[in-house]
Amino acid sequence: MLRRGISPFAVAACITLLLILTQSIPAVVFLLSDGLPAMGIVAAATLTGTWLVRRPGQRTLPLRWVVLLGAGMGLGLLATVVLIAGCAGLMNRTAWFGASAVAVVAAIAAGLRLRDERAAPSDVAPLGTTADGDDRAFRWLWLTVAPFAAVAILAAVVPAGFLWVEEGNGYDVLEYHLQLPREYLASGRIGHAPHNVYGSFPANAEMLYLLCMLLQGDAYTGAAVGQLVNLALGGLCVFAAYVAGAEFSPRTGTLCGVLMGGVGWMTYLSGIAYVENGMMLFAMIATAAVVRAGRLKGRGPERNDGSRAEMPSSEGGGPMPAGVRAPSIGGDVVRAGAMDHARVRWVALAGGMAGFACGFKYSAVGLVWLPLLAAAGLLRWPTWMGRVSGMTAFGTASLLTFSPWLIRNAVTTGNPVFPLANSIFRAYPEGWGEAESAHFAACHQPGPGESGIGQRLAALWDRVVMDRDQRFGPLVLVLAAARLMGLIGRVRDRMDRLLGVVLLVQVVVWLFGTHLYARFAVPMAVPLVLLAGRCAAGVAPGLRTRVMATAIVVGMAFSAVMIGRLYWEHVYADGTKLPLEGAASFFLDGEGSGQEHLAVINRELPGDARILMIGDARAFYFRRAVDYWVVFNRNPFVEQVRGDPDPVRAMAWLRGQGYTHVLVHWAEIGRLRRSRYGFAREIGRGLLDRLVHAGLEETNTFATGVPPRSFATLYRVH
């Protein structure tokens, strides 16, 4: 027997720490040095956000909801404040430290208030509390999350740009997720980026990364902190899954949290400073709010003895309690109007969180906002006016929280969703035209062999269900399917069907509204986990519970092996682990294979050197001034040689722009030409040879591999 005083969370934390230490002692050091400021930012935002959830003396929500909504409000508003301040040029580090000090004081006060307040009874009684029981032993399943937490932490302290192969070793991170915040930090303002179309994407995650860089006073140490903020967002998503599941029963909450912690995608995404962890957090909060809206109870009809009974939750079903008369139409028995009002507030909250999710990634509009709008409309509203009010509130709240990005794009480009829907808005800001718009749209459609319905369904099967690394996990997929078919747990109710609708809309949007990347399917984990967690409902204690717990342990172990194998494939070479944790020098000093050009540029070129980079757009680790253009933007150098191929005038253009060096990344040019993205045909070795005859000097050729193959050439402009 386990002692009652032992916390499963403490044991899980110890196991996680031991697993990390078996792989890397420096990882713990970097976790502390970079993790403390990251946790400070997240905790301060969360606790400050609780002031917006309830005022002192109000006790209408359980503590778990106060903390979760505080995190959503605090982090969402923090990202918005950074955006507004950055656009206004208010990026003075001293001022931000002062604002941070005020936030810390407010957070401490909020923490003390929460400590002193006892959690109030919820306005929604959990389903199945009697049948399921508190089942404290079930909480020990949290131990199965420890391997995922360990790999997530180990991956998060690896420098940006190393993980994962499927993501081009973090290509997008070095191209814009961290590079654009670095540019904003250097310029002191958030503005339009004519060289990088991704600067017009919604960027709530990047605003948090920018804040880390601003407070650290350095892009590289700030990026390390930002990666751990990203890790914390993933951890909060696990907590949000627990809160959503706890609306049904304690056991369901535990199972939902455990299953979300075991989704390989969450571990995977914690190793790269992308945006999905933040999007997933707000998607889960929004879904939890819709669940709570559906679980609200109204004031019940009158009993025969004159007392009143609580109505069953609107999505829980169940017969009318014995001895209860049917409610009279038009009377003040059911108080349908009050029921509508309470539900509208929760649906509006869900809309606000969905809007914040859209502020992390455009695809959240179709994969988070649209499915939850449908779910909100399908709730069992007491009145049609309530349904209309609820959907209107959802849309209005989401527009409010997403609008800062829409307004920013409308002002800087003329298209609120630039570069999307540009055939409608026809916005052509600096660096963009009809050709660039058509190129971008064509490259963000499914490939030529994936346009048919059968081919799209095959992609869904291969990249989601049969994913090589099983990042959703067979446990979640099987349990969710079993719940939808009514094979496990209580008989399906309306909430199961609503979650099924959310999943169905997501599948349709992924199939016909995205370019079928596996990572774009990640939001499906939200309804899948909640459906899988619902399998805990109605399973009586005893043999069936033990069988279910055993199956969960086995399923979690399988997923842990899969994500562990993926990590091993990236950080081990010939059976020896690479010392990567916190080693930004791997890139900055050009210590890694394929990074040799950075050693020369960062160490040997003068501090006032200005480099034109052709082909590559991974500019994050360049310590010298470098100009680059992503493949979709109009490149001035390409325009120059396309309009006038004379090498003498091309050299004059380079000198006139103030360039001292030119770096041509041949390997990247070749990769782009082999892909649908393509690359300007005017750029090639023949052009560079002509420029050499016109005064360009070849100084360094960089090669890698066995036998060595040239991948880049550095030239000096005379």
Which residues, including other chains, have CB under 8 Å from residue 216's CB and lie 6 or more apart? 37, 222, 225
Q: Where are the alpha helices (DSSP H) in 572-595?
A: 585-588
| CA 203 to chain CA mean position, Å | 11
Which residues, including other chains, have CB under 8 Å from residue 463's CB and lie 6 or more apart? 516, 517, 518, 521
Measure the CA–CA gap between 580 and 162, rounded to whole angstroms. 9
Contact in structure between 600 and 398 (CB atoms under 8 Å): no
Q: Compute φ and ψ for 604, nearest 5 degrees.
A: -105, -30
- Comparing C-alpha atoms, which of 280, 282, 270 is closest to residue 231? 270
Contact in structure between 242 and 254 (CB atoms under 8 Å): yes
Alpha-carbon radius of gyration of the chain = 27
- Comparing C-alpha atoms, which of 350, 346, 392, 342 is closest to residue 368? 350
- Beta-bridge mates of residue 715: 662, 698
The helix-helix angle for 25-53 and 204-216 (nearest 10°) equals: 120
Backbone dihedral region for residue 479 (phi beyond 0: left; psi -120 to 50: alpha; all else: beta): alpha
Residues of the chain where predicted confidence (pLDDT) is lower than 70? 1-5, 54-59, 117-135, 297-339, 490-491
- Beta-bridge mates of residue 610: 625
Q: Compute φ and ψ for 163, nearest 5 degrees.
A: -100, 150
Measure the CA–CA gap between 283 and 8, rounded to whole angstroms. 27
Contact in structure between 229 and 101 (CB atoms under 8 Å): no
Express each pLDDT in 478-534 by its tens digit: 999 999 998 887 667 889 999 999 999 999 999 999 999 999 999 999 999 999 999
pLDDT at 179: 99
Residue keyed to tokens 């654009």: 180
Buried b (16+ CB within 10 A) or exposed e, 278-299: bbbbbbbbbbbbbbbbbbbbbb
Buried b (16+ CB within 10 A) or exposed e, 184-209: bbeeeebebbebbbbbbbbbbbbbbb
- Comparing C-alpha atoms, which of 665, 672, 674 is closest to residue 596? 665
Q: CA neighbours within 13 Å on the CB side: how many for 238? A: 24
pLDDT at 313: 52
Measure the CA–CA gap between 208 and 225, rounded to whole angstroms. 10
pLDDT at 297: 67
Measure the CA–CA gap between 585 and 582, rounded to whole angstroms. 9
Contact in structure between 160 and 227 (CB atoms under 8 Å): yes
Q: Compute φ and ψ for 117, nearest 5 degrees.
A: -90, 140
Q: Which two tokens stand for residue 24?
A: 């890397």
Query: Strands 661-664 and 610-614: what pairing?
Result: parallel
Q: Which two tokens stand for residue 497?
A: 């069907």
Q: Compute φ and ψ for 611, nearest 5 degrees.
A: -115, 135
Which residues, including other chains, have CB under 8 Å from residue 168's CB and lie 6 or more apart? none
- Count of CB atoms situated within 10 Å of the CB of 304: 9
Per DSSP, 139 falls in state: G
Contact in structure between 162 and 169 (CB atoms under 8 Å): yes
